[in-house]
Amino acid sequence: MRRAVITGLGPLTPIGLGAEAFHKAQLAGQSGVRRITRFDASSLPVQIAAEVDVNPEDYLDKKELRRLDRFVQYALIAAELALKDAGLEPEKLNPERVGTLVGTGIGGMETWEAQSKVFLEKGPNRISPFFIPMMIANMASAHIAMRYGFHGPSSTVVTACATGSDAIGNALRMIQLGEADIVLAGGTEAAITPMAIGAFGVMRALSTRNEEPEKASRPFTRSRDGFVMGEGAGVLVVEEYEHAKRRGARIYAELIGFGRSADAHHITEPHPEGLGAALAMERALKDAGVAPEQVGYINAHGTSTPVGDRAEVLAIKRVFGDHARRLMVSSTKSMIGHLLGAAGAVEAIATVQALHHGVIPPTLNLEDPDPELDLDFVPFTPREAKVDYALSNSFAFGGQNAVLLFKRV
């Protein structure tokens, strides 16, 4: 069977732009959570988020920017970073053998809010003709393909918080089936808007620790009170192994397993015993032919919600048994918040970097660990450890679960 490897990383995150900056920020234990600056959030119960610091004009033409929602802008920047990191020159590739698969959980929320206001205040004739093509979810993948002239498979995954992982897993299948030799895969999200923060807030899904933003995202603690909204994008170059080998590419890791499942339980809450999450992890291991005891690290979904963290720990214990105590488990969300549709992709990048560099990123803010959640969460500081196999977990609203399994090269 054709093999898939990771040869390029394009993270656009609240703590770093590009592979090197993102990796250094993780090892420094930086938090990207701050008080919201994009709009006046003073009237909202939730006033904190993890915003990215990037000037899109450094990457995209001003005229082009006016016709692109922020979630597409982020995807285009992340794709450029990934291609450069992989040492790929798009004009020298066979365009029919390059695919694009970048998903989003929410899509053009910023455009939707702005144009809704225009509609209500000025009527339908004043709506921008670019409203629909700016808002719809498939435009991240579509614009990447158009920008570089890639004619391979181009599609979009929308599975809420599992989107990024599902996109990368589907890229693995594209490679295995021979549909492409290279796939730009990942997720993007730009949902730090008044409507989104307000809506997630009234669901009581978000942390209200407004006076301590950097302490707000605190997975696996007794005092966790919800996730912190993040934004950004993650794009990975998923490449067929022989293709990468022929061009002398640097290989970060091999993508060897993909598992998915449905909780079929509740619109927002995971199964209380983590049954769906466990099934997805088991399927990823089975897909790769890897025993649970071979896995050394799990990049957890770890959102910092009371029910979510508990269910994930129960799922890990169900799958790994006694070996769960020997696993290292950490949550990237403790640093960057929850990037929704981009979360799985950015966390996959963190997982790949952990394997490649031999350093496990930490979980921040574990001052008061929940005694019921008793795994090794790598608290506060990174840990040097050579690990051969690592999982990256993503579990979404609606009970849609996706798990990726990577192997150290």
**Residues recognised as catalytic:** 161
**Rounded to 5 degrees, what are φ and ψ at 54?**
-145, 145
- Nearest Cα to 56, choosing from 234, 237, 235, 232? 232
The residues pairing with 395 across neighbouring beta strands, listed in sequence order, are 401
Q: Which residue has the tokens 């989107």?
A: 163
The residues pairing with 235 across neighbouring beta strands, listed in sequence order, are 10, 186
Q: For 327, what's the count of Cα atoms within 13 Å in the CB-facing half-sphere?
A: 24
- Nearest Cα to 213, choosing from 196, 230, 200? 230
In sequence order, the 6+-apart residues with CB closer than 8 A to the CB of 322 are none
- Nearest Cα to 98, choosing from 173, 170, 175? 175
Q: Helix 163-177 and helix 343-357: axis angle, to 10°?
A: 70
The residues pairing with 4 across neighbouring beta strands, listed in sequence order, are 240, 255
The number of residues making up the chain comes to: 409
259 and 32 in contact (C-beta within 8 Å)?
A: no
Q: Which two tokens stand for residue 222?
A: 């007794």
- Nearest Cα to 137, choosing from 119, 113, 112, 115? 112
334 and 304 in contact (C-beta within 8 Å)?
A: yes
180 and 117 in contact (C-beta within 8 Å)?
A: no
406 and 253 in contact (C-beta within 8 Å)?
A: yes
